[in-house]
Amino acid sequence: MIKQILSNKSTRLFLVLSGFFIANAMIAEFIGVKIFSLEDTVGIERLNLPLFGSNFSFHLTAGVLLWPVVFIMTDIINEYYGTRGVKFLSYLTVLLITYAFMMFSGAIHLKPSEYFTIGNGIDNANNAFKGIFGQGLWIIIGSMVAFLIGQILDVLVFHRIKKVTGEKRIWLRATGSTLISQLVDSFVVLFIAFYIGRRIQEGQGDAWTLKQILVTGTGNYIYKFIVAVVLTPVIYFIHGIIERYLGHDLAKEMKDAAMKD
């Protein structure tokens, strides 16, 4: 049975794309707890531009390193497996991330042994573990809601553009759908997690103002916008590999079927 499954090129490709898609989404979710300064990281002076009545610099969640890749993978899967393929993977990813955080919560409540150390100058290893893996409930909710909204938007825009342009202009439907979906995603997650969530759930720190949401969300989106454009050649490169792997006839059959979903 397994030989029959793995011998099918379209099935094998779906498994590879699915694994990469889910892995990137989960890693992005887990590292997203860290906020970093882009300017400090690359060694340049902070912008400090006036925006929404505040100084704007690139303070980004670490998850932005991978989310553009996730949405590009969405477009590639959408191209060959249609909306059903993307929705199936999106719902599965949400379930797996939810499961992972449930396991993190269980691990946090385990009593630490005196042998539990992390090193690197960290005195209280258990507090460090709780701080990293114990992300607030509303951060999880915000991330998942933003992810699903972004995925649905990406799929809709992708197919609308493809119906107009046909097989041509891969860059337009892939990059265009990503830019629109990321615009919504960048602000929804912050609004739910830090504006709404921190006003409902205690012990999560001070609630953000709308100004903070707008400034941070703008920085996240500008970064995602630039990365999405820069990665456009990568989309063509991956498409070329897939087309050669599937063969012209099978690839065309799959893309035609994907548009009918």
| pLDDT tens per residue across all 261 residues of the chain | 777 777 889 999 999 999 999 999 888 888 877 888 889 999 999 988 887 777 788 888 888 888 777 877 888 899 999 989 999 999 999 999 989 989 988 999 999 998 888 878 888 888 888 877 876 778 788 888 988 998 888 888 888 888 888 777 788 888 888 888 888 888 998 899 888 988 887 766 788 888 888 888 888 888 888 888 888 888 889 989 999 999 989 998 998 888 876
d(CA 232, CA 249): 25
Domain boundaries, the chain: 1-37+59-259
Residue closest to 56 by CA, chosen among 198, 211, 207: 211
Amino acid (1-letter code) at residue 181: S
* pTM given for the model: 0.85
Three-state SS for 118?
Answer: coil
Residue 111 CB contacts under 8 Å (≥ 6 apart), including other chains = none
- List the one residue out of 43, 86, 246, 63 whose CA is nearest residue 177: 86
Tokens of 1: 């049975």
Dihedral angle, C-alpha 150, 151, 152, 153, nearest 10 °: 50
- CA count, 13 A, side-chain hemisphere, 156: 8
